[in-house]
């Protein structure tokens, strides 16, 4: 309750810095913007883009079993990416702020029969509200870092009370499962990572054909999900290699599209010609192309062949971005040394030689030059990446098997519903 008076300020900040939609701000206060569909409802929550996209295979399976589907996210960027990829009839809402009265409105309206929370989301008031209503709470694709684990160990009674609301925890790895168990979760199983089961991101056929025609035979590589401070290094790498290949096209896809103007200005300050996808007015493709739009990574992965994944060059908590989609689309992957957030998949990709670590501009330029000059080496690296992530799949099957008792219980309670 004490947080409620601060809600207007929080919403103002979200609107200003996270570009939340004004007409949907009421959802942050628990006011629904759509009616509840009939029948048993499965509610799945993924905080941001990666977490919500990982839910897609499970959403499809639950929808096929006869559940109405509600998906909530915490960020507007996740909403923009996930909503177009939901199956017919599935609904999206923003998760309310973690305030009891807001959550009460949300839960009273939607009345979910199952609550499935992905990744490492722990919201105290939400967990307690779900428990009070007797809704089965399942943590799926669950992970908890060593750092978070140590922090929660300082508050054993608090975390034990929160995890008492959890009926089942399906962890990504043995290490995650052990940490959850030590923090007091009663039923923990290892199911693997749902991200390996997500289909490759789509691309609009017309946009793909149009952009491919514009690129033509030019050598091209993509720097995806870049963060502040990395573009300087990537532009330096471009300048090193472009001295030998004047028609080199470097596509930069920033993690936050709003940074597009700043990146284009940075390129211009170095004497480079840059264009922004969000503002371009003709078909001319300069040497630096800033793809400052949302939901188009599938297009650029299909065109690039060589992809650098950002948030990995500078040491920071939770380094690295998800390389699975790029690998599924047959890209050779470059990444910096700081990939702790996705250490398992990067380790597997590196071991299979589907990815390589690059630490500075000189190394990036050298590796890109080698791959652009040797099509056979590029194909071998891309195939290794694709086959590695394919072999790591299967989490969706294991999760569906683990939650089957909850589905069976619902069918008993709702005799008119046949899953």
- Tens digits of residue pLDDT in 254-302: 999 999 999 999 999 999 999 999 998 888 899 999 999 988 999 999 9
CATH class of residue range 205-391 = alpha beta
Its pTM stands at: 0.81
Whose CA is closest to 407, among 86, 91, 64?
Answer: 64
Active-site annotation, residues: 51
**Do residues 278 and 293 touch, judged by C-beta distance below 8 A?**
yes
Q: How far apart are CA 295 and CA 84, in angstroms?
A: 10
**In b/e form, how buried is each residue of 381-405, taking b as 16+ CB within 10 angstroms?**
bbebbbebbeebbebbebbbebbee
Task: Single out the residue of 221, 229, 281 nearest to residue 251, CA to CA.
Answer: 221
pLDDT in tens, 23-37: 788 999 999 999 999
Tell me if residue 225 falls in helix, strand or coil: strand
pLDDT given at position 338:
93
* Rg, C-alpha atoms of the chain: 22
Q: Is the pLDDT of residue 199 over 80?
A: yes
The residues that bridge with 252 in the sheet, in sequence order, are 223, 290
CATH class of 4-192+394-413: alpha beta
In the chain, CATH 3.40.50.2000 covers 205-391
d(CA 203, CA 299): 5
Residue 226 sits at φ, ψ, to 5 deg, of: -80, 155
- Give the whole-angstrom CA distance, residue 321 versus residue 223: 11
Q: Give CATH 3.40.50.11720 domain extents, the chain.
A: 4-192+394-413
Q: What's the Cα-to-Cα distance from 260 to each of 41, 297, 320, rounded to whole Å?
A: 39, 15, 20
How far is it, in rounded angstroms, from Cα 147 to Cα 137?
Answer: 24
Q: How far is it, in rounded angstroms, from Cα 113 to Cα 10?
A: 30
Query: How far from the centroid of its chain's Cα atoms is residue 300's Cα?
Result: 17
Predicted local confidence at residue 2, as pLDDT: 46
Structure confidence at residue 341 as a pLDDT band (50, 70, 90): confident
Long-range contacts of 408-411 (CB under 8 A, 24+ apart): 410/40, 410/113, 410/114
CA 78, CA 86: separation in Å to the nearest integer? 12
Q: Which residues of 245-266 are buried (b: 16+ CB within 10 A; e: fewer)?
A: eeebbbbbbbbbbebbeebbeb
């Amino acid at each position: 309750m004490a947080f409620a008076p601060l809600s207007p300020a929080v919403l103002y900040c979200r609107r200003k810095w996270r570009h939340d939609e004004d007409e949907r701000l009421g959802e942050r206060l628990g006011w629904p913007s759509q009616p509840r569909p009939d029948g048993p409802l499965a509610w799945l929550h993924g905080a941001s883009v990666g977490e919500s996209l990982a839910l897609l295979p499970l959403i499809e399976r639950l929808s096929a079993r006869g559940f109405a589907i509600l998906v909530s996210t915490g960020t507007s960027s996740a909403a923009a990416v996930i909503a177009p990829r939901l199956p017919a009839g599935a609904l999206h809402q923003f998760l309310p702020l973690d305030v009891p009265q807001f959550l009460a409105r949300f839960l009273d309206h939607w009345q979910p029969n199952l609550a499935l929370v992905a990744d490492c989301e722990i919201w105290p008031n939400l967990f307690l509200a779900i428990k009070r209503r007797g809704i089965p709470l399942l943590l799926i694709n669950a992970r908890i870092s060593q750092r978070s684990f140590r922090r929660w160990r300082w508050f054993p009674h608090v975390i034990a009370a929160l995890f008492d609301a959890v009926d089942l925890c399906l962890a990504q790895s043995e290490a995650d499962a052990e940490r959850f168990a030590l923090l007091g979760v009663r039923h923990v199983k290892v199911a693997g990572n749902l991200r390996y089961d997500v289909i490759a991101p789509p691309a609009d056929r017309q946009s793909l054909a149009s952009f491919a025609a514009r690129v033509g035979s030019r050598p091209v590589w993509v720097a995806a999900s870049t963060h502040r401070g990395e573009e300087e290094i990537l532009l330096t790498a471009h300048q090193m290699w472009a001295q030998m290949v004047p028609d080199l096209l470097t596509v930069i896809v920033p993690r936050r599209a709003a940074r597009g103007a700043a990146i284009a200005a940075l390129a211009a300050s170095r004497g480079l010609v840059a264009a922004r996808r969000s503002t371009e007015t003709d078909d001319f493709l300069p040497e630096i192309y800033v793809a400052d739009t949302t939901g188009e990574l599938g297009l650029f992965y299909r065109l690039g062949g060589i992809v650098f994944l950002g948030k990995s060059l500078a040491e920071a908590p939770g380094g690295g971005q998800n390389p699975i989609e790029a690998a599924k689309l047959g890209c050779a992957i470059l990444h910096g040394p700081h990939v702790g957030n996705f250490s398992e998949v990067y380790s597997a990709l590196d071991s299979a030689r589907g990815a390589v670590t690059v630490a500075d501009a000189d190394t990036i330029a050298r590796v890109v030059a080698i791959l652009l000059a040797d099509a056979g080496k590029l194909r071998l690296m891309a195939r290794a990446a694709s086959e590695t992530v394919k072999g790591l799949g299967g989490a969706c099957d294991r999760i569906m098997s683990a939650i089957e008792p909850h589905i069976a219980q619902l069918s008993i309670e709702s005799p008119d519903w046949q899953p």
